[in-house]
Amino acid sequence: MQKINLTQFIIEQQGRHPEASGDFSGLLADIAVACKAIAGAVARGALADVLGSAGSGNVQGEEQKKLDIIANSTMVAANEWRGHLAAMASEEMEHILPTHQRGKYLLVFDPLDGSSNTDIAMTVGTIFSVLKHPDPNRDPAPEDFLQPGTQQVCAGYAIYGPNTMLVLTTGQGVNGFTLDRSLGEFLLTHPDMRIPEDTSEFAINMSNERFWHPPVQRYVAECRAGKSGPRGRDFNMRWIASMVAEVHRILNRGGIFMYPGDTKDPAKPGRLRLLYEASPMAMIVEQAGGLAITGHERLLETRPQSLHQRVPVILGSKNEVERLAAYHREACQPLAA
Ligand code: F6P
């Protein structure tokens, strides 16, 4: 059967909302165009001289790769004159970027997640989240972006691996589209993606073990103990160092991903950024039947305090995330007298 493309999918969805003006559909189409262009740059790699460091740092003091900057300006260029947005914010921009028109929406994105992987031809991706501008009659301010994840209108990512895919949710399940390079179109190949509730696969950067808090140490120790431990079965471990790739694996075959809070650097309550990494991924995971927590609270209910805030992240198959939530609760119980 012929597969429907992203444009047809968007028009069909828009048809279910008679009040829709077409702005949101236009915005999604613009994001998709940017992702195709970024996929092209990532794929050309050394041939286009886009690998390696840009010789600069981002607002968090991390080294910027050339592709970080290219991906950021591609997303900005695809959106800034189109009229759907009031402002954008990204990992690679210290301040918000108001657009030239007063659109209804705000776009926040990580232009190239896992960018240390670009130089070694490994999977990377773009993560994005769409919020409503609380008052389109006035200029956007940084505070307008500080909305909990439950307020997201849409969340998605593009993954640049052996296939380029766009995976998104508007709050009615998760759908995955694969880029057909011969047509230049994203085609719906993964309708209604669901995360299995159980898993025997976990992903965490084990080198940080000594810095983790006790509930995470306990959980991972039990997984590693395998058949002879309290879980009574063997677990497998994966670490790709690209959150997009980890979440994509989990959406396809289940699993749990953790970048928990730790004691490594007291100034950082986690590694991943709330607004443009954790929140959109949490919405996707929940919409696919999984769960996402910080440890003690539901990730989507975390109230952002600042644009580039970091947060602990534990997400994936429901029953494993629930187990970790229980370990966190137990760790807080006062000791019996
Ligand atoms: O900055 C985000 C990120 O690249 C994620 O995509 C990934 O999960 C994580 O950082 C990798 O961290 P580490 O370098 O500790 O493996």
Cα–Cα separations (whole angstroms), residue 308 to 79, 151, 175, 273: 21, 18, 28, 6
Taking alpha carbons only, the member of 275, 277, 243 closest to residue 87 is 275
Q: What is the pLDDT of residues 130-147, one digit of tens each?
A: 999 999 889 999 999 999
Question: 55 to each of 51, 90, 209, how far by Cα in Å?
Answer: 12, 19, 31
Q: Hey, what amino acid is at 195?
A: I
Instruction: Pick the more confident residue, 163 or 55.
Output: 163
Cα 275 to averaged position of ligand 1 atoms, centre (Å): 15
CA of 1 to the centre of ligand 1 (A): 39
Ranges 35-39, 55-59, 64-68, 170-174: which has the least confidence = 55-59
Is residue 329 pLDDT above 50, yes or no? yes
Tell me how far apart the alpha carbons of residues 63 and 319 are, in angstroms, rounded to a whole number.
37
Q: End-to-end alpha-carbon separation of the chain, Å?
A: 66
Q: Confirm if 117 and 136 have CB atoms less than 8 A apart.
A: no
Amino acid found at 202 = F
Calculate what percentage of the chain has a pLDDT beyond 90: 85
Residues 6 or more apart whose CB falls under 8 angstroms from that of 243 comprise: 113, 114, 125, 127, 257, 259, 272, 277, 281
Q: Ligand 1, atom 14: nearest CA belongs to which residue?
A: 241
Q: Are 123 and 163 in contact (CB under 8 A)?
A: no
Task: Count how many residues are written for the chain.
Answer: 337
Ligand 1 atom closest to the CA of 113, numbered from 1: 6
Beta bridge mates, 82: none
Work out the average pLDDT over 201-210: 97
Residue 7 CA to ligand 1 center (angstroms) comes to: 32
Least confident of 78-82, 157-161, 200-204, 332-336: 332-336
Q: Bridge-partner residues for 131, per DSSP?
A: 106
Closest CA to 247 of 279, 217, 270: 279
**Could you please report the per-residue DSSP string of 231-268?**
T-S--EEE--S-HHHHHHHHHHH--EEEE--BSS-TT-
Q: Band the pLDDT of 7: cuts 50, 70, 90.
A: very high
- Nearest 5°: phi and psi at 73? -70, -25
User: Cβ(242) to ligand 1 under 6 A?
Assistant: yes
222 CA to centre of ligand 1 in angstroms:
24
149 by Cβ neighbours in 10 Å (0-12 / 13-18 / 19+) ranks as buried
Which residues, in sequence order, are bridge partners of residue 160?
124, 164
Question: Residue 316, by phi and psi: left (phi above 0), alpha (psi -120 to 50) or beta?
Answer: left
**pLDDT exceeds 50 at position 321:** yes
Decide: helix, strand or coil at residue 81: coil
- Average pLDDT of the chain? 94
Pocket of ligand 1, candidates 206, 240, 272, 313: which has the most ligand atoms within 8 Å of its Cβ, to mutate? 272
Rounded to whole angstroms, the Cα distance separating 252 from 8 reads: 24
What pLDDT was estimated at residue 16?
Answer: 83
Please report which confidence band the pLDDT of residue 59 belongs to, taking 50, 70 and 90 as the band edges.
confident
The residue to which tokens 């047509």 are assigned: 183
| 169 within 8 A of 156, measured Cβ to Cβ | yes
With the most atoms of ligand 1 within 8 angstroms of its CB, the residue from 243, 250, 256, 268 to mutate is: 243
Q: What is the average pLDDT across 22-34?
A: 94
**What is the pLDDT averaged over residues 9-28?**
86
Ligand 1 centre to CA of 122 (Å) is 13
Instruction: Output the furthest CA–CA distance in the chain (Å, rounded).
Output: 69
Percent of the chain at pLDDT above 70?
Answer: 99
Is pLDDT at 312 greater than 90 in this prediction? yes
Q: So what's the pLDDT on residue 334?
A: 67
Q: Whose CA is nearest to atom 13 of ligand 1?
A: 241
Ligand 1 atom at minimum distance from 277 CA? 2
Between the alpha carbon of residue 63 and those of residues 19, 311, 334, the distances in Å are: 44, 20, 43
What is the DSSP code (8-state) at residue 182?
Answer: T
pLDDT digits (tens, 9 = 90+) for 260-307: 999 999 888 899 999 999 999 999 999 999 999 999 999 999 999 999
Q: What is the pLDDT of residue 26?
A: 93
211-264: pLDDT as tens digits: 999 999 999 999 999 999 999 999 999 999 999 999 999 999 999 999 999 999
- Cα gap 210→121, rounded to integer Å: 30
- Rounded to an integer, the average pLDDT of 319-325 is 98
Residue 205 Cβ contacting ligand 1 at under 6 Å: yes
Distance separating alpha carbons of residues 155 and 279, to the nearest angstrom: 8
Q: What is the tens place of the pLDDT at every residue in 117-132?
A: 999 999 999 999 999 9
pLDDT band at 337 (very low <50, low <70, confident <90, very high): very low
